[in-house]
Amino acid sequence: MTLEHVALWTTDLEKSKDFYVKYFAGVPNERYFNSNKQFESYFLTFAGGARLEIMKMPNIPANQNDTIQAQYLGLIHLAFGVDSMAEVDAKAAELKAAGFPILSGPRKTGDGYYEFETLDPDQNRLEVTALWRG
């Protein structure tokens, strides 16, 4: 069995799509729109086949979780894997230069990863990771 996709609500569908396309090489499908529900979405496909659905619809309440200072039960982050520690460093520098916060790292973890954490335009936590041999 595979994890088919993960879905996120957004308030700005195009901004969210453009972020994942520009910084994570997501390939979007054509925008889907359901006029009865005023629902619209994109599926973005990433290398390896993982997919992310980003969705927008009026009257979806804001997430009450504090994604920066605290963590709560449930989905807490999406992780993107790269091939090397140098790629982790480069992506952290690229996102920082573009104005996205680096919440932690880049750093080596106790479980064999080199990673950093950031936020997407909707304040969802993201990790960029590479395996390291230490």
> Domain for residue 65, yes or no?
no
pLDDT at position 27, please? 98
pLDDT at position 57, please? 96
> pTM of the predicted model, to two decimals?
0.93
pLDDT at position 69, please? 80
Give me the domain span that covers residue 37: 6-56
> Domain for residue 52, yes or no?
yes
Same domain assignment for residues 81 and 51: no
> Domain for residue 70, yes or no?
no
> Domain for residue 93, yes or no?
yes
Which CATH number does the domain housing residue 38 bear? Answer: 3.10.180.10
Residue 99, Ramachandran bin (φ over 0: left; ψ between -120 and 50: alpha; else beta): left
pLDDT at position 43, please? 98
Name the amino acid, one letter, at 63: N
Name the amino acid, one letter, at 59: N
Same domain assignment for residues 48 and 91: no
pLDDT at position 134, please? 62
> Domain for residue 69, yes or no?
no
Report how far residue 21's alpha carbon sits from residue 8's, in angstroms, rounded to the nearest whole number: 15
Q: Which residues of 70-101 are buried (b: 16+ CB within 10 A; e: fewer)?
A: eeeeeeeebebbbeebeebbebbeebeeeebe
> Domain for residue 71, yes or no?
no
**Total domains in the fold of the chain:** 2
Same domain assignment for residues 119 and 83: yes
Strand, coil or helix: what is 69?
Answer: coil
- Write out the chain's pLDDT in tens, 134 residues: 888 999 999 999 999 999 999 999 999 999 999 999 999 999 999 998 999 999 999 999 887 777 778 777 788 899 999 999 999 999 999 999 999 999 999 999 989 999 999 999 999 999 999 998 76
> Domain for residue 1, yes or no?
no
Same domain assignment for residues 38 and 83: no
> Domain for residue 24, yes or no?
yes
Nearest by Cα to 44 from 31, 29, 55: 29
